[in-house]
């Protein structure tokens, strides 16, 4: 079973590559491939062929997938890139915590 440190809807910052330093929201997560798609990051051109009568073909910009190891979660409270700590609650469920020393916020 493959697990990733980010989930759909998280805000992340890119650590390396052509979009280094940019922030965006995670649109899709693929744990099997260890990849994520982030809004506005790794934009690629895609050539679309008209499939039905009346469809418009052309060149469309779309987000490309990038490896999850290239992104780091941004804490919603302190706004800084952070690693994740896990806290196990009394009922057995897990909670994600900010690892920054002054923050410690759950998300």
Q: Is the pTM of this model over 0.85?
A: no
- Checking if the pLDDT of 104 tops 80, the result is no
CA 57 to chain centre: 29
Q: What is the chain's mean pLDDT, rounded?
A: 92
Sign of the CA dihedral 14, 103, 76, 94?
positive
Assess whether pLDDT exceeds 70 at residue 1. Answer: no
Structure tokens at 55: 């469809």
Which of the 8 DSSP states describes residue 64? P
Q: Considering the chain, what percentage of its residues have pLDDT values greater than 90?
A: 68
Domains recognised in the chain with CATH numbers: 1-51+60-74 (2.30.30.30), 76-107 (no CATH)
């Amino acid at each position: 079973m493959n697990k990733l440190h980010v989930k759909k809807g998280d805000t992340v910052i890119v650590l390396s590559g052509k979009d280094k330093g940019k922030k965006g929201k995670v649109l899709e997560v693929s744990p099997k491939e260890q990849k994520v798609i982030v809004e506005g990051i790794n934009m690629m051109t895609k050539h679309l062929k008209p499939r039905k009568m009346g469809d418009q073909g052309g060149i469309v910009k779309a987000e490309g997938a990038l490896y999850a190891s290239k992104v780091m979660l941004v804490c919603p409270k302190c706004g800084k890139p952070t690693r994740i700590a896990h806290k196990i609650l009394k009922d057995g469920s897990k909670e994600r915590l900010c690892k920054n020393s002054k923050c410690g916020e759950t998300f």
